[in-house]
Each structure stands twice: as C-alpha cells, then as structure tokens.
Structure 1
Amino acid sequence: MNRLNGKVALITGAAQGMGAAHARLFIEHGAKVVLTDLNEGKGQALAAELGENAHFISHNVTSEADWARVVEETEATFGPIQVLVNNAGITMAKNMLDVTVEEYKRIVDINQVSVFIGMKAVAPSMIKAGGGSIVNISSMNGLVAGAIGYTDTKFAVRGMTKAAAINLAPLGIRVNSVHPGVIATPMVVQEDTKAAVEEFAKHIPMKRVAQPEEVSNMVLFLASDESSYSTGSEFVIDGGMTAQ
C-alpha cells in the first residue's frame, strides 16, 4: 500500500543514517522526497539511487536563507510541501565542565534552532497544500537525562513540538516528536563502538538495539493520514528504556 501516495516530503540530514532510511521508505510508499544535507556526495548518490521521485539539495539547516531556498526549490521541483521531517542533528558526549560556550551554541543551533527555523519556513508551503505533517526527531534523551547539550536540545525539540502543534492545528498542520533510543546505524555499530553498544543492549528491556527501519515505520505513520488525529505528542521507540 502506498501510504504517502503523491505527498511531497522534505527530510533534513537525509544523506545517510536515519534520514536515508526515512527517505527510502517514503519513496517506497509513493512520496516525492527532497533530501537535504551538507554531505553533497552522499546526498546526490542517494537521490540518484532512489530515482525520479527523489531530489537532493545541499542545505545548512541553521540558515534562514538556506531554508527559504530549499522550500522554493522543493515547490518548483515537486510542488507544495506536505511532510517535513526535521531529522538533522549532531551529538556531543562531554562533561558539562569541559564544554565550551562555542560548542554549546553550535549544538543548540543545529539541534534546536534549526527545527524552529524549519517549521516556520515550511508552514506557509503546507498551508498552500491544504495542510501537512511535521515530524521532529528528538531522542529518548528528550525524556530522560543524557549528555549536556544533547539532552538540552532534545528536550527543547519536545517542547517546541507541543507549542507548534497548538499554533498550527487551526491551519491543518500536525506536529509530533519521535524519541528513538539506540539505533543500529553505521556510526553506532562501527568496530570501535560495537562492544560498548552490545554491552549497553543488555540493559535495554527488549535486550537489543533498534533497526533503522523500526524508527522509519513510526515516522511513516506520522507522515501519513493514518495519524490524522495525532498532534503535539511524543512517540517513543526505545525498547522500554524510559519505562524503567
């Protein structure tokens, strides 16, 4: 079943990892997908692999001008945007006492401010389309503590999602957040971290890490009309970690 048949979707941070998994599934379900990322090589290659319903745009998610350009190019290529997945983000694993103000501001700009800019930039396009769905990728660390900077921004994404959902509901735009736990992306399961991840998995109630497709299936549900009465909510995919 093509659950996104004909919908125009914009996915940030889509050149690799979770963003790429979302893009593949969206294409499989009939969407026209614009992938954005700073990694032009991988982004162009993935768009070429996915075919005529995929289009790549180089994109700095912290730039208002870049967001305006991306929305304009998306509309020119496929039409008004109906789905936005704010997936781009970075991690930082430092003790608070070791984090510089510059490092802190950088993660806030990429993980938090970009989500605000993106929602604001895309909303007028969704209004043209008659409504839409925004999916903000947070983390289980948007619910419980983790590293400084990363936790802060992921809690902020959770809060922004709720505020934006209230603001945009009268316009036919839904906004939800997704909170993944540990996902088996290449960055997580590479050789120098594999042993640590396997050890950590023993403490997950389901005794394993998630596969990227398990998160993508949730994102697909929220992007589709099947979730038509869900807005301002958290959708957690962590194998039970935050239930403990």
Structure 2
Amino acid sequence: MRFIDTIEGLNKVFLTDIPKNSVVLITGAPGTLKSGFTFSMLSSYLKAADEYGLYITLEESKANHIRNMEHMGVKLTENLGILDYSDYRLQFDEYSQDLISTIETQIMQYKRKWGAKFTCVALDSLGALYSLMDEGEDEIRKRLYHLFEPLRRENLTSFVIFESFNTLDQSQSGAGIEGYLADGIIELGISSKQNVSYRFIRVLKMRAATHSMDPWVVTVSDQGLKIYKGIS
C-alpha cells in the first residue's frame, strides 16, 4: 500500500510514493483542507496496510474532529487513534510545561503497544503547539529538531500540519525553519481564476520522491477528497 493511492488523483501528483520515515509538513491557510487531507490519507493507508497510527489534535476535540471528517466523506478506521490535548493533559499533568515532551511520551506509549505495526503519526497543528507553550516561538522551533529526530529513529512517517498564509504568489515566504527541518512540504491553498475560487494542492519539496511541482485542484464532497489537473 502506498500513501499516494489513498486519495483519488494523488498518484498523479506523485510518480513515486512519499518515503517512509519522513517528516512531512502540510501547510496552508485556514479552510484549505489540511486536516481533512492528512486524516483521509492516513486513515485509508493504515486500514489497507493493516498498520496503526496516531492523530494528535491540539485545535479541536476528538468528537468535533470525527464529525468534520464524516461530513467530508472521509472513511474512519480504528487503526488510526485520535488523541486531543485535553485527553493527554489529564494523564500527564506533570508535563504541562513541556508539551513537546508530553507528545513524545504519548507517541512512545503507542509505539510500545503496537510495535513495528505502529508506523504513522500526525500532529494538528504546530501553530496550536506554539500557542500552548510558555516559551517563545524561536526557542520552540529550535526544539522541534528534538521531536522530529526521535520520530525518524522510531521508523515513523510523520505529517505535521502548519498553518500559514502562503499562496501561489512566489514572492511570499514558505514554512520557515520548520521547512528546513522537514523532509517534505505539501501546500494546500485557495486561489482564484476568472472570478472562480478553487482549492489546490502543490508539493513544494519531497526528498527521495519524484513529483509534480504544479498546483492541482482539490475538491471535497460527501464522497471524500479528489485531486485532478485543472489549472493552466
């Protein structure tokens, strides 16, 4: 099973799969389907591969997240656990001042439970992580290295949602230091053509993978997400 076979049309954007054990940033402005794209890809992949993963949400409750995914036609699977911040804050109150360590502790618990079958992690989102910690953003960003590297060492493929306001305007900055630390960056955005707005996906980088650099249209319905070439 390949990640790029989980959403219709994604295997046209990529010629080779997203490499296992990578850290991939999913960036974009609000409303660009970052959470839906990430959850849909992981849910479908893990069910088909008979593997397990963890989706950590810091922005909304587990119930709200599930409701949103069902509304978008995303198929849910028990192979992808959902952990919201209120859940593990109660379990690890002594780590409340060091949320990065708390997250790493929780991930390692799942790794011990499922062993080699625990292969994927998603964090939603870095912006929420920054807002919940007392340290400045610059210091937190430096510490991201100490979160990303253990994930790679544990053979986990990680998808980290990072809200930004970058668009197809090439003059705007990208994902900053987070982008340098990551192996790949997938951008989701909203643009307009002839007074019609559309969502798009574009792969800005993906180490050890062959992919298109062009934007592709993303649509969503009660049947799920679909990607197709429709921008000239």
TM-score with structure 1 length normalisation? 0.47
Structure having the higher strand fraction is 2
TM-score with structure 2 length normalisation? 0.48
Structure having the higher helix fraction is 1
